[in-house]
Amino acid sequence: MECCGSRRWAHRVAAHRPYPDSGALRAAADEASYDLGEADLAEALAAEFPPELGHGAPYAAQLALDAAHAEYERTFGHAFVVCLDGHPPEERADQLLGAIRRRMALDREEERAISADELRRLALARLTDLTHWLTSPGGVSAAETGYSPPWDRPSVPV
Report yes or no on 31 lying in a domain.
Answer: yes
- Total structural domains in the chain? 1
| Phi and psi torsions of 122, nearest 5° | -65, -45
Domain that holds residue 57: 7-152
pTM, full prediction: 0.81
| Confidence at residue 34, expressed as pLDDT on a 0 to 100 scale | 92
Residue-level pLDDT at 158 = 39
The series of mean pLDDT values per 10 residues for the chain, 158 residues long, is: 94 93 93 94 93 83 91 95 87 89 96 96 92 68 51 46
Question: For residue 1, is it within any domain?
Answer: no
Q: Which of 156, 104, 151 is nearest to 130 (CA)?
A: 151
